[in-house]
Amino acid sequence: MAARMIAIAMLPAALTCGRRSAVLRAGAAAALALAPARGGRAADGGGGGALASATFSAGDARFLQPAFDEIVYLGVRSSEVGAVRLADGSELPALRVVYDPTRVRYRRVLGAFWRAIDPTRAAGEGQFGIVGPSVIWAASEAERADAVESLRRLDASGLFRGRRIATEVRLLPAPEASAARGGAADGALLPSWVPAPAAAQCWYRAQPQAYAKARVDTGRDAWFDRTYRPVKTTACDGGVCGFVTFPCSDENGCLAVMNGSW
């Protein structure tokens, strides 16, 4: 029991939830060995390269973690629930994802975010009970351009049946980049990352029943089912009758956005 308590105390929050469990089993030494570096760029991508981070806001950030844990095999290294502290001192809940850019493109990370939210909800509506905007926090102008183009393509796919995407794209510079520039040009504080306590991490694994109930109670499950459910038809074409169409497909460009393959 003592060894387990030490491991929990030393365990970094920013791990994918599956890796977090593995670290707990391995003990405190393994926890320290797997700790990712903080900031916009982590120290090591496993093969000697730098890791990259992507930050997203969309209501309760705990609901975003599963989407990124599902693509660990592609190169996602960690996820951390926290908040972005804005210039006025207020905080917007967010999730920071650390990934290996030599294995997974930023565009694919964007796709995982889109698949985990309802981007048509404006700030006043919020995400399933949590008021506030959904935001892609780009760390550079290149990321901002990718985010804007990804948004444009998803909007044009028609997935949301006439509802326009309300997600915003804002700049969240890496700490070292902000320091090099000396802060914002007008002297205002730039947005910054604030990690949440360890107890806020991996809620969907720690309390799976509460997580599943919350998805139902907040209307998440119903919305995702309505939006992505395949549509069956008895129409005939060339003597073949009965078709299944998918709202998010190659034909409308939606699947390319989700897979980051555009």
Q: Which fold has domain 37-259?
A: Peptide Methionine Sulfoxide Reductase; Chain A (3.30.1060)
Q: Which residues contact 61 (CB under 8 A, 6 or more apart)?
A: 81, 82, 83, 93, 94, 95, 196
- Tabulate helix, strand, coil % of the chain (nearest 5): 40, 20, 40
Confidence band, pLDDT 50/70/90 cuts, at residue 245? confident
Of the candidates 93, 66, 69, 68, the one whose C-alpha atom is nearest the C-alpha of residue 82 is 93
Task: Give the 3-state secondary structure of residue 241.
Answer: strand
Could you give the C-alpha distances from 201 to 5, 142, 229, in angstroms and in order?
A: 17, 29, 30
What would the pLDDT profile of 117-165 be if each residue is shown by its tens digit?
A: 999 999 999 899 899 999 999 999 999 999 999 999 999 999 999 999 9
Contact 247, 231 (CB under 8 A): yes
The pLDDT assigned to 179 comes to 42
Q: What is the largest CA-CA distance in the chain?
A: 70
The pLDDT assigned to 4 comes to 30
What would the pLDDT profile of 65-75 be if each residue is shown by its tens digit?
A: 999 999 999 99
Of the candidates 32, 96, 5, the one whose C-alpha atom is nearest the C-alpha of residue 23 is 32
Q: Which residues pair with 244 in a beta bridge?
A: 232
Domain residue limits, the chain: 1-35, 37-259
Least confident of 96-110, 139-153, 170-184: 170-184
What would the pLDDT profile of 192-206 be if each residue is shown by its tens digit?
A: 899 999 989 999 999
